[in-house]
Protein backbone atom coordinates (compact mmCIF):
# COMPACT_ATOMS: atom_id res chain seq x y z
CA UNK A 1 0.00 0.00 0.00
CA UNK A 2 1.21 3.49 -0.80
CA UNK A 3 2.70 5.60 1.96
CA UNK A 4 1.08 9.07 1.58
CA UNK A 5 4.05 10.57 3.45
CA UNK A 6 6.48 9.55 0.73
CA UNK A 7 5.71 11.42 -2.46
CA UNK A 8 8.05 11.54 -5.40
CA UNK A 9 9.53 15.00 -6.07
CA UNK A 10 8.92 16.75 -9.37
CA UNK A 11 10.19 19.89 -10.99
CA UNK A 12 9.04 22.29 -13.64
CA UNK A 13 12.15 21.81 -15.73
CA UNK A 14 12.99 25.52 -15.81
CA UNK A 15 16.67 26.42 -16.20
CA UNK A 16 17.47 28.97 -13.51
CA UNK A 17 20.49 30.09 -11.52
CA UNK A 18 21.04 28.61 -8.09
CA UNK A 19 18.77 30.35 -5.61
CA UNK A 20 20.36 32.28 -2.75
CA UNK A 21 18.83 32.19 0.69
CA UNK A 22 15.99 34.67 1.14
CA UNK A 23 14.68 36.12 4.38
CA UNK A 24 12.94 33.33 6.33
CA UNK A 25 14.45 30.77 3.96
CA UNK A 26 15.69 28.84 6.98
CA UNK A 27 12.03 28.21 7.88
CA UNK A 28 11.20 24.90 6.23
CA UNK A 29 7.51 24.16 6.66
CA UNK A 30 6.39 20.64 7.44
CA UNK A 31 2.99 19.27 6.56
CA UNK A 32 1.45 19.65 10.03
CA UNK A 33 2.54 23.30 10.28
CA UNK A 34 1.10 24.06 6.86
CA UNK A 35 -2.18 22.34 7.66
CA UNK A 36 -2.68 24.16 10.96
CA UNK A 37 -1.73 27.48 9.41
CA UNK A 38 -4.05 27.20 6.40
CA UNK A 39 -6.96 26.11 8.55
CA UNK A 40 -6.33 29.05 10.89
CA UNK A 41 -6.61 31.30 7.84
CA UNK A 42 -9.90 29.70 6.84
CA UNK A 43 -11.26 30.16 10.33
CA UNK A 44 -10.66 33.92 10.10
CA UNK A 45 -13.51 34.30 7.61
CA UNK A 46 -15.80 31.39 8.43
CA UNK A 47 -18.28 33.71 10.07
CA UNK A 48 -18.34 36.06 7.10
CA UNK A 49 -19.82 33.62 4.61
CA UNK A 50 -21.06 30.06 4.39
CA UNK A 51 -18.67 27.17 3.84
CA UNK A 52 -19.22 26.67 0.09
CA UNK A 53 -18.21 30.29 -0.48
CA UNK A 54 -15.36 30.94 1.92
CA UNK A 55 -13.15 28.36 0.22
CA UNK A 56 -13.46 30.47 -2.94
CA UNK A 57 -11.86 33.43 -1.11
CA UNK A 58 -8.98 31.68 0.65
CA UNK A 59 -7.76 29.20 -2.00
CA UNK A 60 -6.83 31.84 -4.62
CA UNK A 61 -4.98 33.86 -1.96
CA UNK A 62 -2.93 30.80 -0.94
CA UNK A 63 -2.14 30.15 -4.59
CA UNK A 64 -1.22 33.79 -5.26
CA UNK A 65 1.08 33.90 -2.24
CA UNK A 66 2.92 30.83 -3.52
CA UNK A 67 3.32 32.41 -6.97
CA UNK A 68 4.52 35.70 -5.51
CA UNK A 69 6.98 34.14 -3.06
CA UNK A 70 8.42 31.83 -5.72
CA UNK A 71 8.89 34.78 -8.07
CA UNK A 72 10.69 36.70 -5.30
CA UNK A 73 13.05 33.72 -4.86
CA UNK A 74 13.72 33.51 -8.58
CA UNK A 75 14.20 37.26 -8.82
CA UNK A 76 16.71 37.14 -5.96
CA UNK A 77 18.68 34.51 -7.83
CA UNK A 78 19.02 36.79 -10.85
CA UNK A 79 19.96 39.74 -8.64
CA UNK A 80 22.83 37.62 -7.33
CA UNK A 81 23.79 36.58 -10.84
CA UNK A 82 23.78 40.09 -12.34
CA UNK A 83 24.69 42.09 -9.23
CA UNK A 84 21.84 44.58 -9.58
CA UNK A 85 18.09 44.55 -8.91
CA UNK A 86 17.56 47.00 -11.76
CA UNK A 87 19.42 44.86 -14.28
CA UNK A 88 17.78 41.64 -13.07
CA UNK A 89 14.29 43.15 -13.33
CA UNK A 90 14.97 44.54 -16.80
CA UNK A 91 16.22 41.15 -18.03
CA UNK A 92 13.26 39.27 -16.55
CA UNK A 93 10.72 41.73 -17.96
CA UNK A 94 12.29 41.72 -21.43
CA UNK A 95 12.49 37.93 -21.44
CA UNK A 96 8.91 37.61 -20.32
CA UNK A 97 7.64 39.95 -23.03
CA UNK A 98 9.55 37.99 -25.67
CA UNK A 99 8.28 34.67 -24.29
CA UNK A 100 4.69 35.90 -24.52
CA UNK A 101 5.23 37.03 -28.10
CA UNK A 102 6.96 33.86 -29.26
CA UNK A 103 5.24 31.23 -27.15
CA UNK A 104 8.45 29.89 -25.64
CA UNK A 105 9.01 29.14 -21.94
CA UNK A 106 10.24 32.19 -19.94
CA UNK A 107 13.19 32.09 -17.55
CA UNK A 108 10.87 32.45 -14.53
CA UNK A 109 7.89 30.23 -13.84
CA UNK A 110 5.43 33.12 -13.51
CA UNK A 111 6.08 36.84 -13.69
CA UNK A 112 4.47 38.80 -10.82
CA UNK A 113 4.97 42.59 -11.12
CA UNK A 114 5.98 44.68 -8.10
CA UNK A 115 2.84 46.78 -8.21
CA UNK A 116 0.63 43.71 -7.91
CA UNK A 117 2.57 41.19 -5.81
CA UNK A 118 1.90 39.82 -2.33
CA UNK A 119 3.75 42.73 -0.70
CA UNK A 120 1.55 45.22 -2.54
CA UNK A 121 -1.62 43.35 -1.58
CA UNK A 122 -0.62 43.14 2.07
CA UNK A 123 0.29 46.82 2.35
CA UNK A 124 -2.72 48.23 0.53
CA UNK A 125 -4.75 50.27 3.02
CA UNK A 126 -8.09 49.01 4.30
CA UNK A 127 -9.86 51.95 2.69
CA UNK A 128 -12.92 50.13 1.44
CA UNK A 129 -11.17 49.32 -1.85
CA UNK A 130 -8.90 46.48 -0.75
CA UNK A 131 -11.16 43.84 -2.33
CA UNK A 132 -11.06 45.73 -5.62
CA UNK A 133 -7.26 46.00 -5.45
CA UNK A 134 -6.84 42.27 -4.77
CA UNK A 135 -9.14 41.40 -7.67
CA UNK A 136 -7.23 43.74 -10.01
CA UNK A 137 -3.85 42.35 -8.86
CA UNK A 138 -4.98 38.81 -9.57
CA UNK A 139 -6.29 39.72 -13.00
CA UNK A 140 -3.05 41.51 -13.81
CA UNK A 141 -1.13 38.35 -12.93
CA UNK A 142 -3.33 36.37 -15.34
CA UNK A 143 -2.83 38.92 -18.12
CA UNK A 144 0.93 38.53 -17.79
CA UNK A 145 0.76 34.73 -17.39
CA UNK A 146 -1.92 33.29 -19.72
CA UNK A 147 -1.42 29.78 -18.30
CA UNK A 148 -3.13 31.06 -15.14
CA UNK A 149 -6.37 31.84 -16.97
CA UNK A 150 -9.29 30.35 -15.09
CA UNK A 151 -7.58 30.44 -11.70
CA UNK A 152 -7.00 33.87 -10.15
CA UNK A 153 -9.43 35.68 -12.43
CA UNK A 154 -12.48 33.72 -11.30
CA UNK A 155 -13.16 35.28 -7.88
CA UNK A 156 -14.24 38.87 -7.26
CA UNK A 157 -13.03 39.99 -3.82
CA UNK A 158 -15.37 42.96 -4.06
CA UNK A 159 -18.41 40.70 -4.47
CA UNK A 160 -21.59 41.96 -2.83
CA UNK A 161 -24.88 40.54 -1.64
CA UNK A 162 -27.83 42.82 -0.87
CA UNK A 163 -25.52 45.79 -1.34
CA UNK A 164 -22.95 44.59 1.24
CA UNK A 165 -19.47 43.18 0.64
CA UNK A 166 -19.42 39.43 1.36
CA UNK A 167 -15.87 39.78 2.65
CA UNK A 168 -15.31 43.29 3.99
CA UNK A 169 -11.91 44.93 4.38
CA UNK A 170 -11.56 44.00 8.05
CA UNK A 171 -12.05 40.30 7.35
CA UNK A 172 -9.88 40.43 4.25
CA UNK A 173 -7.06 42.16 6.14
CA UNK A 174 -7.29 39.53 8.91
CA UNK A 175 -7.12 36.73 6.33
CA UNK A 176 -4.13 38.28 4.55
CA UNK A 177 -2.29 38.76 7.85
CA UNK A 178 -2.75 35.13 8.84
CA UNK A 179 -1.48 34.00 5.44
CA UNK A 180 1.49 36.34 5.81
CA UNK A 181 2.84 34.39 8.83
CA UNK A 182 4.88 32.06 6.63
CA UNK A 183 6.61 32.27 3.28
CA UNK A 184 5.69 29.81 0.56
CA UNK A 185 8.86 30.17 -1.49
CA UNK A 186 10.91 27.41 -3.06
CA UNK A 187 13.09 27.13 0.05
CA UNK A 188 10.12 26.98 2.42
CA UNK A 189 7.85 24.29 1.02
CA UNK A 190 8.31 21.76 -1.76
CA UNK A 191 5.48 21.50 -4.26
CA UNK A 192 4.34 18.12 -2.98
CA UNK A 193 4.21 19.27 0.66
CA UNK A 194 2.29 22.43 -0.22
CA UNK A 195 0.01 20.42 -2.48
CA UNK A 196 -0.73 18.00 0.34
CA UNK A 197 -1.62 20.89 2.65
CA UNK A 198 -3.89 22.27 -0.07
CA UNK A 199 -5.60 18.86 -0.33
CA UNK A 200 -6.02 18.90 3.45
CA UNK A 201 -7.75 22.26 3.18
CA UNK A 202 -10.07 20.89 0.49
CA UNK A 203 -10.95 17.98 2.77
CA UNK A 204 -11.71 20.34 5.65
CA UNK A 205 -13.95 22.39 3.39
CA UNK A 206 -15.67 19.19 2.28
CA UNK A 207 -16.34 18.24 5.90
CA UNK A 208 -18.09 21.57 6.40
CA UNK A 209 -20.04 21.55 3.17
CA UNK A 210 -21.94 18.29 3.40
CA UNK A 211 -24.01 17.64 0.28
CA UNK A 212 -22.15 19.95 -2.12
CA UNK A 213 -18.72 18.60 -1.15
CA UNK A 214 -19.17 15.53 -3.31
CA UNK A 215 -18.86 17.75 -6.34
CA UNK A 216 -15.16 18.33 -5.83
CA UNK A 217 -13.64 16.01 -3.25
CA UNK A 218 -13.19 12.23 -3.05
CA UNK A 219 -11.94 10.81 0.28
CA UNK A 220 -8.15 10.62 0.09
CA UNK A 221 -7.91 6.94 1.03
CA UNK A 222 -10.28 6.05 -1.83
CA UNK A 223 -8.18 8.13 -4.22
CA UNK A 224 -4.97 6.39 -3.14
CA UNK A 225 -6.61 2.97 -3.53
CA UNK A 226 -7.69 3.84 -7.08
CA UNK A 227 -4.18 5.05 -7.91
CA UNK A 228 -2.67 1.83 -6.63
CA UNK A 229 -5.14 -0.33 -8.53
CA UNK A 230 -4.38 1.51 -11.79
CA UNK A 231 -0.61 1.61 -11.09
CA UNK A 232 0.14 3.77 -14.18
CA UNK A 233 3.07 2.86 -16.40
CA UNK A 234 5.66 5.35 -17.73
CA UNK A 235 4.95 7.49 -20.79
CA UNK A 236 1.18 7.09 -20.72
CA UNK A 237 -1.87 9.34 -20.43
CA UNK A 238 -4.63 9.62 -17.83
CA UNK A 239 -8.00 11.35 -17.94
CA UNK A 240 -10.67 12.33 -15.42
CA UNK A 241 -13.76 13.60 -17.27
CA UNK A 242 -15.35 14.80 -14.01
CA UNK A 243 -12.16 15.94 -12.31
CA UNK A 244 -13.49 18.18 -9.52
CA UNK A 245 -10.46 19.57 -7.68
CA UNK A 246 -8.13 17.19 -9.57
CA UNK A 247 -7.32 15.00 -6.58
CA UNK A 248 -7.71 11.62 -8.30
CA UNK A 249 -5.36 12.62 -11.13
CA UNK A 250 -2.83 14.05 -8.70
CA UNK A 251 -2.79 10.96 -6.48
CA UNK A 252 -2.24 8.70 -9.48
CA UNK A 253 0.69 10.79 -10.64
CA UNK A 254 2.22 10.99 -7.16
CA UNK A 255 1.85 7.24 -6.87
CA UNK A 256 3.67 6.90 -10.20
CA UNK A 257 6.58 8.98 -8.86
CA UNK A 258 6.84 6.74 -5.82
CA UNK A 259 6.83 3.61 -7.98
CA UNK A 260 9.18 4.98 -10.66
CA UNK A 261 11.63 7.39 -8.99
CA UNK A 262 14.14 6.66 -11.76
CA UNK A 263 11.76 7.89 -14.51
CA UNK A 264 10.36 11.25 -13.38
CA UNK A 265 10.08 12.44 -16.98
CA UNK A 266 7.88 9.49 -17.86
CA UNK A 267 5.03 10.48 -15.56
CA UNK A 268 1.57 10.11 -17.12
CA UNK A 269 0.33 13.24 -18.82
CA UNK A 270 -2.83 14.35 -17.04
CA UNK A 271 -6.10 15.48 -18.62
CA UNK A 272 -9.23 16.58 -16.82
CA UNK A 273 -12.52 18.36 -17.43
CA UNK A 274 -14.75 20.06 -14.87
CA UNK A 275 -18.14 21.71 -15.28
CA UNK A 276 -18.21 24.11 -12.31
CA UNK A 277 -16.06 27.25 -12.93
CA UNK A 278 -15.04 27.65 -9.27
CA UNK A 279 -14.09 23.98 -8.97
CA UNK A 280 -12.26 24.15 -12.30
CA UNK A 281 -10.20 27.00 -10.87
CA UNK A 282 -9.37 24.90 -7.80
CA UNK A 283 -8.27 22.02 -10.02
CA UNK A 284 -5.92 24.23 -12.03
CA UNK A 285 -4.46 25.79 -8.88
CA UNK A 286 -4.08 22.34 -7.36
CA UNK A 287 -2.07 21.18 -10.39
CA UNK A 288 0.25 24.20 -10.23
CA UNK A 289 0.78 23.83 -6.48
CA UNK A 290 1.81 20.19 -7.03
CA UNK A 291 4.14 21.39 -9.81
CA UNK A 292 2.03 19.62 -12.44
CA UNK A 293 1.51 22.77 -14.46
CA UNK A 294 1.63 20.87 -17.76
CA UNK A 295 -1.64 19.07 -16.95
CA UNK A 296 -4.42 19.84 -19.42
CA UNK A 297 -7.49 20.92 -17.43
CA UNK A 298 -10.54 22.07 -19.39
CA UNK A 299 -13.87 23.57 -18.39
CA UNK A 300 -17.25 22.39 -19.61
CA UNK A 301 -19.78 19.57 -19.55
CA UNK A 302 -17.94 16.43 -20.70
CA UNK A 303 -21.14 14.59 -21.53
CA UNK A 304 -22.42 17.32 -23.85
CA UNK A 305 -19.12 18.80 -25.09
CA UNK A 306 -16.04 16.67 -24.38
CA UNK A 307 -12.98 18.93 -24.48
CA UNK A 308 -10.40 16.38 -25.58
CA UNK A 309 -11.13 15.46 -29.16
CA UNK A 310 -8.67 13.92 -31.60
CA UNK A 311 -8.24 14.79 -35.26
CA UNK A 312 -11.23 13.66 -37.26
CA UNK A 313 -13.62 14.69 -34.44
CA UNK A 314 -13.26 11.41 -32.53
CA UNK A 315 -12.57 11.30 -28.82
CA UNK A 316 -8.99 11.36 -27.59
CA UNK A 317 -8.13 7.96 -26.14
CA UNK A 318 -6.21 7.46 -22.93
CA UNK A 319 -4.40 4.57 -21.30
CA UNK A 320 -6.09 5.27 -17.94
CA UNK A 321 -9.28 6.89 -16.68
CA UNK A 322 -9.91 7.67 -13.02
CA UNK A 323 -13.16 9.33 -12.00
CA UNK A 324 -15.91 9.85 -9.43
CA UNK A 325 -18.83 11.30 -11.41
CA UNK A 326 -21.82 12.68 -9.55
CA UNK A 327 -24.01 9.69 -8.77
CA UNK A 328 -27.41 9.19 -10.40
CA UNK A 329 -27.44 12.43 -12.35
CA UNK A 330 -30.74 13.35 -13.98
CA UNK A 331 -29.34 16.07 -16.28
CA UNK A 332 -29.26 14.14 -19.55
CA UNK A 333 -31.98 13.12 -21.98
CA UNK A 334 -32.39 10.16 -24.32
CA UNK A 335 -31.95 12.58 -27.22
CA UNK A 336 -28.41 13.45 -26.06
CA UNK A 337 -27.42 9.78 -25.88
CA UNK A 338 -29.09 8.75 -29.12
CA UNK A 339 -27.68 11.65 -31.19
CA UNK A 340 -24.16 11.62 -29.77
CA UNK A 341 -21.68 12.58 -32.56
CA UNK A 342 -18.91 10.53 -30.92
CA UNK A 343 -20.78 7.23 -30.84
CA UNK A 344 -20.16 6.82 -27.11
CA UNK A 345 -23.44 5.18 -26.18
CA UNK A 346 -23.65 2.28 -28.60
CA UNK A 347 -24.24 -0.22 -25.77
CA UNK A 348 -27.50 1.39 -24.72
CA UNK A 349 -29.35 4.51 -23.63
CA UNK A 350 -29.26 5.05 -19.86
CA UNK A 351 -32.50 5.92 -18.05
CA UNK A 352 -33.39 9.54 -17.31
CA UNK A 353 -33.15 8.72 -13.58
CA UNK A 354 -29.40 8.00 -13.63
CA UNK A 355 -26.49 8.85 -15.92
CA UNK A 356 -24.15 6.36 -14.21
CA UNK A 357 -23.91 4.03 -17.21
CA UNK A 358 -23.74 7.01 -19.53
CA UNK A 359 -20.55 8.05 -17.74
CA UNK A 360 -19.21 4.51 -17.82
CA UNK A 361 -19.81 4.33 -21.57
CA UNK A 362 -18.08 7.67 -22.10
CA UNK A 363 -15.06 6.47 -20.14
CA UNK A 364 -14.95 3.13 -21.95
CA UNK A 365 -15.01 5.02 -25.26
CA UNK A 366 -12.14 7.20 -24.00
CA UNK A 367 -9.83 4.25 -23.33
CA UNK A 368 -7.28 3.09 -25.85
CA UNK A 369 -7.04 -0.57 -26.86
CA UNK A 370 -5.04 -1.39 -23.70
CA UNK A 371 -6.90 1.09 -21.51
CA UNK A 372 -8.03 0.60 -17.92
CA UNK A 373 -10.36 2.61 -15.70
CA UNK A 374 -11.25 2.94 -12.01
CA UNK A 375 -14.66 4.59 -11.54
CA UNK A 376 -16.50 5.36 -8.29
CA UNK A 377 -20.25 4.85 -8.60
CA UNK A 378 -23.34 4.41 -6.47
CA UNK A 379 -23.66 0.81 -5.29
CA UNK A 380 -26.94 0.43 -7.17
CA UNK A 381 -25.20 0.97 -10.49
CA UNK A 382 -24.09 -2.69 -10.52
CA UNK A 383 -27.41 -4.20 -9.41
CA UNK A 384 -30.36 -2.08 -10.53
CA UNK A 385 -32.78 -3.96 -12.76
CA UNK A 386 -31.42 -7.44 -12.08
CA UNK A 387 -34.06 -9.98 -11.10
CA UNK A 388 -36.85 -8.04 -12.75
CA UNK A 389 -38.96 -9.73 -15.42
CA UNK A 390 -39.40 -6.45 -17.26
CA UNK A 391 -36.71 -4.83 -19.38
CA UNK A 392 -34.27 -2.48 -17.70
CA UNK A 393 -31.91 -0.08 -19.45
CA UNK A 394 -29.11 -0.23 -16.89
CA UNK A 395 -29.15 -4.03 -16.71
CA UNK A 396 -29.00 -4.22 -20.51
CA UNK A 397 -25.95 -1.94 -20.65
CA UNK A 398 -24.31 -3.87 -17.81
CA UNK A 399 -24.97 -7.10 -19.70
CA UNK A 400 -23.26 -5.69 -22.79
CA UNK A 401 -20.19 -4.71 -20.75
CA UNK A 402 -20.03 -8.19 -19.22
CA UNK A 403 -20.42 -9.92 -22.58
CA UNK A 404 -17.70 -7.69 -24.09
CA UNK A 405 -15.52 -8.82 -21.15
CA UNK A 406 -14.63 -5.22 -20.26
CA UNK A 407 -15.52 -5.40 -16.56
CA UNK A 408 -12.48 -6.53 -14.60
CA UNK A 409 -13.74 -6.02 -11.07
CA UNK A 410 -16.18 -4.44 -8.65
CA UNK A 411 -15.08 -3.34 -5.16
CA UNK A 412 -17.72 -2.62 -2.53
CA UNK A 413 -16.56 0.15 -0.18
CA UNK A 414 -17.69 0.77 3.41
CA UNK A 415 -20.70 2.98 4.03
CA UNK A 416 -20.50 6.66 5.03
CA UNK A 417 -17.12 7.39 3.42
CA UNK A 418 -18.30 10.09 1.02
CA UNK A 419 -19.17 13.64 2.03
CA UNK A 420 -22.34 13.91 -0.04
CA UNK A 421 -24.00 10.66 1.07
CA UNK A 422 -23.96 7.98 3.75
CA UNK A 423 -24.44 5.25 1.14
CA UNK A 424 -21.53 2.95 0.30
CA UNK A 425 -20.01 3.31 -3.13
CA UNK A 426 -18.29 0.86 -5.43
CA UNK A 427 -15.17 1.08 -7.56
CA UNK A 428 -15.84 -0.31 -11.03
CA UNK A 429 -12.70 -1.54 -12.78
CA UNK A 430 -12.69 -1.64 -16.58
CA UNK A 431 -10.03 -3.28 -18.75
CA UNK A 432 -10.18 -3.19 -22.54
CA UNK A 433 -7.45 -5.84 -22.82
CA UNK A 434 -7.55 -8.30 -19.93
CA UNK A 435 -4.55 -10.60 -19.63
CA UNK A 436 -5.25 -14.13 -20.85
CA UNK A 437 -5.58 -15.60 -17.35
CA UNK A 438 -8.33 -13.13 -16.44
CA UNK A 439 -10.46 -13.32 -19.56
CA UNK A 440 -14.00 -14.48 -18.99
CA UNK A 441 -13.74 -13.65 -15.28
CA UNK A 442 -14.69 -10.80 -12.92
CA UNK A 443 -13.23 -10.13 -9.47
CA UNK A 444 -15.78 -9.10 -6.84
CA UNK A 445 -14.41 -7.65 -3.58
CA UNK A 446 -16.48 -6.93 -0.46
CA UNK A 447 -14.44 -4.45 1.59
CA UNK A 448 -17.48 -3.11 3.45
CA UNK A 449 -16.13 -4.06 6.91
CA UNK A 450 -12.72 -2.38 6.51
CA UNK A 451 -13.36 0.99 8.09
CA UNK A 452 -12.93 2.99 11.26
CA UNK A 453 -15.48 5.47 12.56
CA UNK A 454 -14.22 9.04 12.57
CA UNK A 455 -15.92 12.42 12.55
CA UNK A 456 -17.65 13.41 10.39
CA UNK A 457 -17.16 10.32 8.18
CA UNK A 458 -15.91 6.76 8.27
CA UNK A 459 -12.45 6.09 6.84
CA UNK A 460 -11.32 3.11 4.77
CA UNK A 461 -8.46 1.47 6.67
CA UNK A 462 -4.96 0.95 5.32
CA UNK A 463 -5.42 -2.75 6.06
CA UNK A 464 -8.54 -2.85 3.94
CA UNK A 465 -6.98 -1.00 1.04
CA UNK A 466 -3.92 -3.28 1.15
CA UNK A 467 -6.15 -6.37 1.17
CA UNK A 468 -8.09 -5.11 -1.86
CA UNK A 469 -4.89 -4.46 -3.80
CA UNK A 470 -3.47 -7.84 -2.84
CA UNK A 471 -6.45 -9.92 -4.00
CA UNK A 472 -6.63 -7.84 -7.18
CA UNK A 473 -2.98 -8.41 -8.04
CA UNK A 474 -3.10 -12.10 -7.09
CA UNK A 475 -6.53 -12.43 -8.73
CA UNK A 476 -7.82 -14.72 -6.04
CA UNK A 477 -10.89 -15.79 -4.15
CA UNK A 478 -10.44 -15.14 -0.43
CA UNK A 479 -12.94 -16.02 2.27
CA UNK A 480 -14.99 -13.04 3.49
CA UNK A 481 -13.26 -10.69 1.06
CA UNK A 482 -13.26 -11.65 -2.61
CA UNK A 483 -14.51 -14.05 -5.23
CA UNK A 484 -13.57 -14.56 -8.86
CA UNK A 485 -16.68 -15.36 -10.89
CA UNK A 486 -17.11 -16.42 -14.49
CA UNK A 487 -19.21 -14.62 -17.06
CA UNK A 488 -21.61 -17.56 -16.88
CA UNK A 489 -22.09 -16.91 -13.14
CA UNK A 490 -22.70 -13.23 -13.88
CA UNK A 491 -25.35 -14.28 -16.38
CA UNK A 492 -26.94 -16.63 -13.83
CA UNK A 493 -27.21 -13.68 -11.43
CA UNK A 494 -28.97 -11.69 -14.15
CA UNK A 495 -25.91 -9.41 -14.33
CA UNK A 496 -26.14 -8.32 -10.73
CA UNK A 497 -22.48 -7.63 -9.92
CA UNK A 498 -22.93 -6.50 -6.34
CA UNK A 499 -20.05 -8.03 -4.33
CA UNK A 500 -22.32 -8.52 -1.30
CA UNK A 501 -24.35 -11.01 -3.35
CA UNK A 502 -21.31 -13.24 -3.87
CA UNK A 503 -19.09 -12.52 -0.85
CA UNK A 504 -20.57 -12.93 2.63
CA UNK A 505 -18.59 -11.15 5.33
CA UNK A 506 -20.68 -12.02 8.40
CA UNK A 507 -20.09 -15.19 10.42
CA UNK A 508 -23.77 -16.01 10.68
CA UNK A 509 -24.15 -16.21 6.93
CA UNK A 510 -26.96 -18.31 5.54
CA UNK A 511 -26.28 -19.33 1.95
CA UNK A 512 -28.93 -19.84 -0.69
CA UNK A 513 -28.80 -20.41 -4.42
CA UNK A 514 -28.63 -17.26 -6.55
CA UNK A 515 -31.72 -18.32 -8.46
CA UNK A 516 -33.69 -18.54 -5.20
CA UNK A 517 -32.46 -15.13 -4.04
CA UNK A 518 -33.38 -13.52 -7.35
CA UNK A 519 -36.80 -15.19 -7.32
CA UNK A 520 -37.49 -13.88 -3.82
CA UNK A 521 -36.42 -10.38 -4.84
CA UNK A 522 -38.72 -10.50 -7.85
CA UNK A 523 -41.64 -11.73 -5.68
CA UNK A 524 -41.02 -8.98 -3.11
CA UNK A 525 -40.95 -6.38 -5.86
CA UNK A 526 -44.26 -7.68 -7.25
CA UNK A 527 -45.82 -7.58 -3.78
CA UNK A 528 -44.67 -4.02 -3.26
CA UNK A 529 -46.06 -2.96 -6.64
CA UNK A 530 -49.41 -4.61 -5.77
CA UNK A 531 -49.46 -2.86 -2.39
CA UNK A 532 -48.77 0.48 -4.08
CA UNK A 533 -51.63 -0.20 -6.50
CA UNK A 534 -54.02 -1.03 -3.66
CA UNK A 535 -52.99 2.11 -1.80
CA UNK A 536 -53.67 4.27 -4.84
CA UNK A 537 -57.15 2.73 -5.14
CA UNK A 538 -57.90 3.45 -1.47
CA UNK A 539 -56.70 7.03 -1.79
CA UNK A 540 -58.81 7.46 -4.92
CA UNK A 541 -61.87 6.21 -3.06
CA UNK A 542 -61.21 8.65 -0.23
CA UNK A 543 -60.98 11.55 -2.64
CA UNK A 544 -64.22 10.55 -4.38
CA UNK A 545 -66.05 10.32 -1.05
CA UNK A 546 -64.83 13.78 -0.09
CA UNK A 547 -62.97 12.66 3.01
CA UNK A 548 -59.55 13.38 1.55
CA UNK A 549 -57.71 16.72 1.88
DSSP 480-524: TTEEEEEHHHHHHTTT---HHHH---STT-----HHHHHHHHHHH
Q: Is 397 helix (H, G, I), strand (E, B) or coil?
A: helix
Q: What are phi and psi of 441, to 5 degrees?
A: -135, 155
Surface-to-core class of residue 362, CB atoms within 10 Å of its CB (0-12 exposed, 13-18 middle, 19+ buried):
buried
Confidence at residue 167, expressed as pLDDT on a 0 to 100 scale: 87
User: 109 vs 265, 292, 516, CA distance in Å?
Assistant: 18, 12, 65
Q: Distance between CA atoms of 242 and 41, rounded to whole angstroms?
A: 29
Quick count: other Cβ atoms within 10 Å of Cβ 286?
27
Question: Can you list the residues of the chain whose pLDDT is less than 50?
Answer: 1-14, 21, 23, 51-52, 211-214, 508-511, 544-549
Confidence at residue 509, expressed as pLDDT on a 0 to 100 scale: 42
**What is the pTM assigned to this prediction?**
0.84
Amino acid sequence: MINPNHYGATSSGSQQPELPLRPNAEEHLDISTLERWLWDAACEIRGATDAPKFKDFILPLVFFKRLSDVFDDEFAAYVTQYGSEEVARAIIEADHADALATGRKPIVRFYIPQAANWHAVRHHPADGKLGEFVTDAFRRAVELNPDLDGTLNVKDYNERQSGQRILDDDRLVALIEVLNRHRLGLHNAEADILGRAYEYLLRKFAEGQGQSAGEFYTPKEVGWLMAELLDPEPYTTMDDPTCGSGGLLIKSRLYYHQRHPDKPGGAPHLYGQELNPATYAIAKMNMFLHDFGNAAIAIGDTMRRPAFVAEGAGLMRFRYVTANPMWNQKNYTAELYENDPYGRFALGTPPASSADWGWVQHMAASLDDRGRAAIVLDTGAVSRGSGSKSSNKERSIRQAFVENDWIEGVILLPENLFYNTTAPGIILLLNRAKPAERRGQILLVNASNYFVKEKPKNVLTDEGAAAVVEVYRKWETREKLSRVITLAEAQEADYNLSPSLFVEVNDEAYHRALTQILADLSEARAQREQADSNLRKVLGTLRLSGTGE
